[in-house]
Structure 1
Amino acid sequence: MNRRAPSFWFRRPPGFGANLLRPLGAVYAGATARRLRRGARADIGVPVVCIGNINAGGTGKTPTVIALAQRLAGQGVAVHIVSRGYGGTITGPERVDERSHTAAQTGDEPLLMSAFAPVWVADNRVEGARAAAADGAQIILLDDGFQDPGIFHDLSLVVVDAAKGFGNGLCIPAGPLREPVSEGLARADAVLSIGPAPMQERFAAEWGRKIDVPHLQGALQPLQTGIDWQGHRVLAFAGIGHPEKFFATLRDLGVDLVRAEALDDHQPFTPALLQRLGAEARASGAQLVTTEKDAVRLPPEFRREVLALPVRLELSDWRPLDALLQPLLDASKSP
């Protein structure tokens, strides 16, 4: 989502504003349910793992896809990723080339993920998955697409931000959900909540009773790059689903955060915006820092002025997910 979510989306129990919009939320939920009942899903011929969400907006799908791609590749599997490439001009199916494509063409997330596995951008996910299979994919990771009825999912993983949870439990525009929690989780094989321990405890207390599939927990951890962030003067900017989480990570690393500029998810970096950020950083003697996802959208001449802080998803226990993946691994390697 490109705009800030209304605060009443996350107020429990739902307040006046949410209840006023509840009938429209029911209409939205009904439209999602009708779309999901359309016809038979396409069987691609290789296992498909869907990494999706019930909430609109960012929940941590991209780092989850990267973590799964790395784990599967480490077991000798040819894993490909299929994405719609939000905000890009390519309609596909087209394989991302990180050396020649730009984020404006592919979308920022596919360009970032292409450093870890082959990525196919396609408006039509079925066509993208078929192109991946034809190119030798043994397992396909479907980035988003949980509410897309086109492809059969061998495994569906619902990702949720532990801090936000499922909000007030209502559907757009009354709340943050694409579909009711009970209906979404009925199609899920596992739920992955991402966040620090206190947020995980709160999420489990509020929503744990509604989860009757394996509940995995994970957190985003900064990747060690050799930079000593302690006391480093930083002007940070981020255009992701929840930029405040990125700024909190920097504070935890001990930076001297001069200012934090929260941008909308996928917000274009206009020349005026970049000129203002650069001038402010120079005037305050601060280093510009952003996320990996934002960094791939920066023009090359400005990218040299900015440090990216990479983060990786770490699960508290991989064993339940490994157990779910094992049958797919076996199928991918069978003749």
Structure 2
Amino acid sequence: MRTPSYWFTSPDSLDWRARLLAPLGWLYGLGTARRVARAGSGYHASVPVICIGNINAGGTGKTPTTIALAQRLISKGIEVHIVSRGHRGSEEGPLRVEEGRHKADQVGDEPLLMAAFAPTWIARDRVKGVKAAEDAGAEIILMDDGFQNPSVHKTLSIVVVDAVKGFGNARCIPAGPLREPVRAGMKRADILLSIGHSRAQAKFVQDWGGEIACPHSSAQLVPLQTGMDWQGMDVLAFAGIGLPDKFFATVSDLGANLLRAEALADHQPLTEALMKRLEVEAAALGAQLVTTEKDAVRLPDSFRRRVLTVPVRLELLDWDVIDGAIAEIMAD
């Protein structure tokens, strides 16, 4: 088995802080292992539950994966419901998210975005969320995140990873980016989905292929064709997502002149004050404000027509692995 090169060449792996914090990371991983060990007592739903999770903390592409999978299942005539925890500040639930009725600060930006594609529920208690979806007629439930949460039995677990970042320095929080060790997570995963361009995919397999103990699929995020001509447009882009640099690269790849890139905290509230500051800066540069779909749902109403959005969709290179796994669980 090949030892991941990140362990030798990543700046994080050589950082004295990561080495100093390694014992705390080991304890964090041990705590995750103990929590996951209680999975046998989890609630067994009457319909299949597909978990779209990760072992990295932060953004890996779970939301676009959930949307892509929901669209795939719906195209096959399957009644799909999504269950999410929401985020800090959102309602306790279980609550069905409605686009025209709810705002991001009530239900979370990701659930609000996903609700445009399939019935979506938020619930701090995942069991209650799953039961609400069951009662509403779901034939398959997509559980957004929760791979390390043992309260609900997962029929199928898809672990999502960014192919560029990989598993970082392979250490657990706070010494690294992981919620649990790679090998432990891969043993429980049914499918690994890596997201990134072809060069990143090749590097990911080179570095981490020896740790992957489950079927592996790959995908990439592709801008949705909306008819907007980005070529030569001067823009100020801002993003409050897990990996904002990926969005900024997408904007540049579309041909826009990225004059300024503002990386915000994940889920950061887009207050009137913040948006006015960005608008003033954009005006001084002669630039158009641009953001992500996920950020767009958090915009104040007065700014919705003044900010352009770059929607992206997940494209799997091969659906066979996921289609086959879903066919199996539907046949049981």
Given that 1:222 and 1:311 are in contact with CA atoms closer than 8 Å, whether structure 2 keeps it comes out as yes
Given that 2:84 and 2:122 are in contact with CA atoms closer than 8 Å, whether structure 1 keeps it comes out as yes
Give the Cα–Cα distance (whole angstroms) in 1 for the partners of residues 29 and 212 of structure 2: 19
Give the Å deviation of 1:10.
5.5
CA-atom RMSD in angstroms: 1.5
User: What is the match of residue 30 of structure 2?
Assistant: 30
User: What is the match of residue 5 of structure 1?
Assistant: none
- Structure 2 residue 17 is the aligned partner of structure 1 residue 21: no
User: What is the match of residue 310 of structure 2?
Assistant: 309
User: What is the match of residue 261 of structure 2?
Assistant: 260
User: What is the match of residue 227 of structure 1?
Assistant: 228
Given that 2:82 and 2:141 are in contact with CA atoms closer than 8 Å, whether structure 1 keeps it comes out as yes
Give the Cα–Cα distance (whole angstroms) in 1 for the partners of residues 296 and 307 of structure 2: 8
**Equivalent residue runs for 1:1-335 within 5 Å:** 11=11, 13-38=13-38, 40-331=41-332
Give the Å deviation of 1:87.
2.9
Given that 2:111 and 2:120 are in contact with CA atoms closer than 8 Å, whether structure 1 keeps it comes out as yes
Quick one: structure 1 residues 14 and 52, their matched pair in 2 at CA, closer, same or farther if it must change by over 3 Å? Answer: farther
Give the Å deviation of 1:9.
12
Alignment-mate amino acid for residue 31 of structure 2: A
Alignment-mate amino acid for residue 72 of structure 1: L
Per-residue CA deviation, residues 51-97 of structure 1 (Å, 9 max, x unaligned), is 00000000000000000000000000000000000134210001001
Give the Å deviation of 1:11.
3.3
Given that 1:84 and 1:122 are in contact with CA atoms closer than 8 Å, whether structure 2 keeps it comes out as yes
Give the Å deviation of 1:205.
0.6
Give the Å deviation of 1:327.
1.9
Give the Cα–Cα distance (whole angstroms) in 2 for the partners of residues 127 and 14 of structure 1: 44
Give the Å deviation of 1:328.
2.8
Give the Å deviation of 1:17.
1.7
Unaligned runs of 5+ residues in structure 2 are 1-7
Unaligned runs of 5+ residues in structure 1 are 1-7
Per-residue CA deviation, residues 242-295 of structure 1 (Å, 9 max, x unaligned), is 100000001111101111111111111122211111112222221111000000
Given that 1:9 and 1:167 are in contact with CA atoms closer than 8 Å, whether structure 2 keeps it comes out as no
Point out the more displaced range, 271-280 or 55-64: 271-280
User: What is the match of residue 3 of structure 2?
Assistant: none
SS in 2 for 1:281: helix
Give the Cα–Cα distance (whole angstroms) in 1 for the partners of residues 150 and 184 of structure 2: 14
Quick one: structure 1 residues 10 and 95, their matched pair in 2 at CA, closer, same or farther if it must change by over 3 Å? Answer: farther
Give the Cα–Cα distance (whole angstroms) in 2 for the partners of residues 284 and 13 of structure 1: 39
Give the Cα–Cα distance (whole angstroms) in 2 for the partners of residues 89 and 184 of structure 1: 28
Give the Cα–Cα distance (whole angstroms) in 1 for the partners of residues 9 and 154 of structure 2: 29
Quick one: structure 1 residues 37 and 9, their matched pair in 2 at CA, closer, same or farther if it must change by over 3 Å? Answer: farther
Quick one: structure 1 residues 9 and 122, their matched pair in 2 at CA, closer, same or farther if it must change by over 3 Å? Answer: farther
Per-residue CA deviation, residues 150-189 of structure 1 (Å, 9 max, x unaligned), is 1111100000000110011010011100001111111000
Alignment-mate amino acid for residue 171 of structure 1: C
Give the Cα–Cα distance (whole angstroms) in 2 for the partners of residues 82 and 46 of structure 1: 13
Per-residue CA deviation, residues 89-125 of structure 1 (Å, 9 max, x unaligned), is 2100010011100000000000000000000000001
Give the Cα–Cα distance (whole angstroms) in 2 for the partners of residues 323 and 317 of structure 1: 11
SS in 1 for 2:41: coil
Give the Å deviation of 1:207.
0.3
Identical counterparts, % of pairs:
61
SS in 2 for 1:50: strand
Alignment-mate amino acid for residue 314 of structure 1: E
Alignment-mate amino acid for residue 219 of structure 2: G
Alignment-mate amino acid for residue 79 of structure 1: V
Give the Cα–Cα distance (whole angstroms) in 2 for the partners of residues 68 and 88 of structure 1: 27
Point out the more displaced range, 234-243 or 11-20: 11-20
Given that 2:13 and 2:19 are in contact with CA atoms closer than 8 Å, whether structure 1 keeps it comes out as no
Give the Cα–Cα distance (whole angstroms) in 1 for the partners of residues 102 and 10 of structure 2: 37
Give the Cα–Cα distance (whole angstroms) in 1 for the partners of residues 98 and 302 of structure 2: 20
Given that 1:93 and 1:121 are in contact with CA atoms closer than 8 Å, whether structure 2 keeps it comes out as yes
Per-residue CA deviation, residues 132-152 of structure 1 (Å, 9 max, x unaligned), is 000000000000000000111
Alignment-mate amino acid for residue 194 of structure 1: I
Give the Cα–Cα distance (whole angstroms) in 2 for the partners of residues 141 and 156 of structure 1: 10
Q: How many residues get paired? A: 324
Quick one: structure 1 residues 289 and 14, their matched pair in 2 at CA, closer, same or farther if it must change by over 3 Å? Answer: same
